[in-house]
Amino acid sequence: MRTGKRFLITHKEGNSLSYPGKCVVITDTQTGMNYLCVYCGYGMAVTPLLGADGQPVVTGYIEE
């Protein structure tokens, strides 16, 4: 079993206080699955990150 962080922020854009808010890509280090997290003010949404073909973006396992 791994020790360390399971989820890593792999990309950031924007500012949480401005429109349209802040976007971050979070990668699960155990599965390689990427999630898009968007938040502005007190609102937040998380969804799997999809590619142009509609399939989930999986980057593989990340070694720490």
What SS3 string covers 14-42?
ECCCCCCCEEEEEEECCCCEEEEEEEECC
Pairing of strands 43-48, 22-28: unpaired
Mean pLDDT of 10-35: 84
Tell which residue, 10, 11, 13, has the closest CA to residue 64: 10
Q: Tell me which of 16 and 36 has the higher pLDDT.
A: 36
State mean pLDDT over 42-55: 92
pLDDT at residue 41 greater than cutoff 90: no
Cα gap 47→26, rounded to integer Å: 10
Residue 16 pLDDT grade (very low, low, confident, very high; cuts 50, 70, 90): low
CA distance 29 to 61: 6
Please state the pTM of the whole predicted model: 0.78
Q: Residue type at 23?
A: C
